[in-house]
Amino acid sequence: MRYLIETYPFSKNINTDEMFSEEQSFNILRSLETNYIKEFVKIVKKKQNLNENGQNFDNSQTYRVQQKILESFIFEKPELENTLKQFPIFDLLLLLKEKSILNELQFQKSNLNDGNQRIEIVKNMNNQFEISLNETNYQGSYKGKDTNCISQILERDKKYIFRIQFEKRNDPNYFMIGLMKNENFNRDYGYNDKMSYYLGLENNKMKYNGGQGIEKFVKGDRKQLLDENSTLELRVWLEGKQVEVLNYPDYSYKVEIQDEYKQNLSQKDLCLYFYLYGHQDKYILKEALIVEQF
């Protein structure tokens, strides 16, 4: 409700009749999927309902225009989303379809190799999680050894999105993100559960290393290099046997779990997993969402 109050003044000034009154205006919506245009129509209707003038929507120019959109074009999601982001009222679409759970996440430090003494978990000024190893004051015998950090158990029917950046201290260095079984948390490395994406940072680039379960390329290829500051999006839907990694926000690169390892997703105690190895190498969990659809 607070969001509606804040955006209503903007929505009153959006003249949707003028916005799409000329046929050339439809060029920006070319190649968009029909189901996303239907979502667009719903939002236009919401905007109309917010107006106080009691206009009959079914007889409006907006209604006729949107029907022309539905009848005349084949659609693609990214162009529509980029268009809608220009108008505050259309943020309602995202609000209705996703929920932030960043503040609900709880992380555990593994006892494996004294991880509980070396792992550092903090919230930065942007309220994002920073997860790293800090061995500055560690006096034990496991310095330089890898360990695990996990979240609470994920719900099987929920669709999760985790957006993560990486910071390295040395060049090269290695990171893994994915899932692991909670019961193995203190006795084995998470990557042995074969539900992880393995990457390296070197020469200002991010590269796929593979071999840990999430390695079936759907878009892009094994030799493709991303900028080392890239954000990766980990998508998880256990009930649907879906785990995949994409580059965000471009989505020009997509890797999913190998078919042979999908059976591992049937486990009842799976958690978000971070592999920790290098001193002060850092994961930054920027966003954590539950969504209606990917």
Kindly report, residue by residue over 84-104, the tens digit of the pLDDT.
556 555 555 555 588 999 999
Residues 224 and 262 in one domain: yes
Q: Provide the mean pLDDT of the chain.
A: 82
Residues 71 and 112 in one domain: no
Residues 116 and 71 in one domain: no
DSSP label of 77: H
Q: 290 versus 22: which is more confidently predicted?
A: 290
> In angstroms, rounded to a whole number, what is the distance separating the alpha carbons of residues 292 and 200?
31
| Boundary-marking domain end, from 32, 66, 98 | 98
pLDDT score at 27 = 54
Backbone dihedral angles phi then psi of residue 240, each to the nearest 5 degrees = -95, 10
| Boundary-marking domain end, from 55, 70, 98 | 98
Contact 248, 275 (CB under 8 A): no
We report the CATH number of the domain holding residue 207 as: 2.60.120.920
Backbone dihedral angles phi then psi of residue 146, each to the nearest 5 degrees = -85, 160
Residues 281 and 141 in one domain: yes
pLDDT score at 57 = 47
Q: Could you report the per-residue pLDDT of 236-290, keeping only the tens digit for each?
A: 999 999 999 999 999 999 999 999 999 999 999 999 999 999 888 999 999 999 9
- Cis, peptide link before residue 249, omega less than 30° from 0: yes
Residues 88 and 147 in one domain: no
Across the chain, which distance is largest between two alpha carbons, in Å? 76
Least confidently predicted of 6-10, 77-81, 148-152: 6-10
Least confidently predicted of 18-27, 108-117, 126-135, 172-181: 18-27
Q: Considering only CA atoms, which of 247, 248, 174, 178 is closest in space to residue 217? A: 247
Residues 73 and 140 in one domain: no
Which residues span the domain enclosing 16?
2-98
pLDDT score at 93 = 55
pLDDT score at 169 = 83
Q: 36 versus 105: which is more confidently predicted?
A: 105
> Tokens standing for 166?
């990486």
- Tally of domains within the chain: 2
Residues 128 and 269 in one domain: yes
Residues 269 and 227 in one domain: yes
Residues 286 and 175 in one domain: yes
| Boundary-marking domain end, from 43, 70, 98 | 98
pLDDT score at 262 = 97
Residues 89 and 128 in one domain: no
Does the structure show a pLDDT above 80 at 142? Answer: yes
Residues 132 and 109 in one domain: yes
Residues 113 and 163 in one domain: yes
Give the list of residues 6+ apart from residue 45 with CB closer than 8 angstroms, or none. Answer: 57
Q: Could you report the per-residue pLDDT of 145-191, keeping only the tens digit for each?
A: 999 999 999 999 999 999 999 998 877 789 999 999 999 999 999 99
> In angstroms, rounded to a whole number, what is the distance separating the alpha carbons of residues 43 and 86?
14
